[in-house]
Copies of this chain bind each other. A is one copy, B any other.
Amino acid sequence: MIGARLVNGIDSAGIAPDDRGLHYGDGLFETMAAVDGRLRHFNLHMERLCDGCRRLQMPEPDLAVIEAECMRVLEGLDTAVVKLLLTRGPGPRGYRRPENPTPTRLVSSSARATEAGAATRALKLRLCDTRLGLNSRLAGVKHLNRLEQVLACAEWRDPEIDEGLMFSADGRLVCATAANVFLLSEGRLLTPDIRDCGVAGVMRRVVITEAPSLGLEVIVRDLALSDLNSAAEVFITNAVGGVRPVGEIIGAGRWPVGEVTQRLRARVAAVLV
């Protein structure tokens, strides 16, 4: 793997064994796409990160330092993924947070090959058994407590299956393990409400912002498995893959690569800021 890694700006450093990110998942992360050496949607990622800091009552980081470190790990890379991890830093044993934390920044990059035909390849999804617990205090935040996603991903090994859809503890359709989900239904876009579980994806936000310019209304509401029956198109979104069409959800339906999905994919790919 080609890439670089900085811990608090220092190359090849380790993480302190008493870091609260390790002990409690007490921190946040962002996964960003870089194209032609430029970070996509950096400001939106930082907005979500700072919102997460407020939600977890962590000090907000110096965004200029983060941007500089992201550019350092991108040196020599063209199309890449940059992952930022921000924890509450070291602390004594116990859940109680330190009064004056020294957060830990981990910035790493990995080169990414652009998949041939990615724009039109329809994904194959499955339905996961692992559910998402409800907690409005954590919902939307891209925090480091991700065992539910780890267990969901462990449910299948078939490399033909690209992603898995996850449901809330009370049975609502919420997201894929590492993406948000949208349905086109009666000419409108539907995407799950994430008030008590799920992540507020940056690409979800870009789609919600851009859809009206294509004449599309977006409705954020609770969705059920049965809503897939009436969907004309289905797609999933994340910062690295953008908008990706879903061709099949095993046991729930098949769809062609839709015209609306293709237009949205092109539209959001043109949004660089």
CA distance A175 to B117 in the complex (A): 52
Q: Which chain A residues numbered 81 to 136 have a C-beta less than 8 Å away from chain B?
A: 81, 83, 85, 87, 92-97, 106, 108, 110, 130-135
- How many copies of this chain are found per oligomer? 2
Q: Does residue A13 face the partner (Cβ distance < 8 Å to B)? A: yes
Q: Does residue A232 face the partner (Cβ distance < 8 Å to B)? A: no
Structural contact, A25 and B87, CB atoms closer than 8 A: no
Mark contacts of A28-61 with chain B using CB atoms, 8 A cut-off: 1 yes-contact digit, 0 otherwise.
Answer: 0101000000000000000000000000110000
Q: Does residue A150 face the partner (Cβ distance < 8 Å to B)? A: yes
CA distance A134 to B96 in the complex (A): 22
Interface size on A, residues (CB 8 A): 58
The closest CB in chain B to the CB of A3 belongs to: B93
CA distance A14 to B13 in the complex (A): 8
Indicate which residue in B21, B135, B150 contacts A169 across the interface (CB closer than 8 Å). B135
CA distance A22 to B25 in the complex (A): 6
Indicate which residue in B92, B106, B153 contacts A97 across the interface (CB closer than 8 Å). B153
Q: Does residue A138 face the partner (Cβ distance < 8 Å to B)? A: yes
Known: A14-B14, A24-B146. 17 other contacts (CB 8 A): A5-B17, A15-B17, A17-B106, A19-B22, A20-B150, A22-B85, A22-B87, A25-B25, A56-B150, A83-B93, A94-B153, A131-B137, A133-B134, A133-B138, A135-B148, A138-B147, A138-B148
Structural contact, A150 and B97, CB atoms closer than 8 A: yes
Structural contact, A92 and B1, CB atoms closer than 8 A: yes
A128 CB to closest chain B CB (Å) equals: 11
Structural contact, A24 and B133, CB atoms closer than 8 A: no
* CB-defined contacts of A22 to chain B, threshold 8 Å: 15, 19, 21-22, 85, 87, 106, 144
Q: Does residue A250 face the partner (Cβ distance < 8 Å to B)? A: no
* CB-defined contacts of A15 to chain B, threshold 8 Å: 14-17, 19, 22
Q: Does residue A209 face the partner (Cβ distance < 8 Å to B)? A: no
Structural contact, A146 and B177, CB atoms closer than 8 A: no
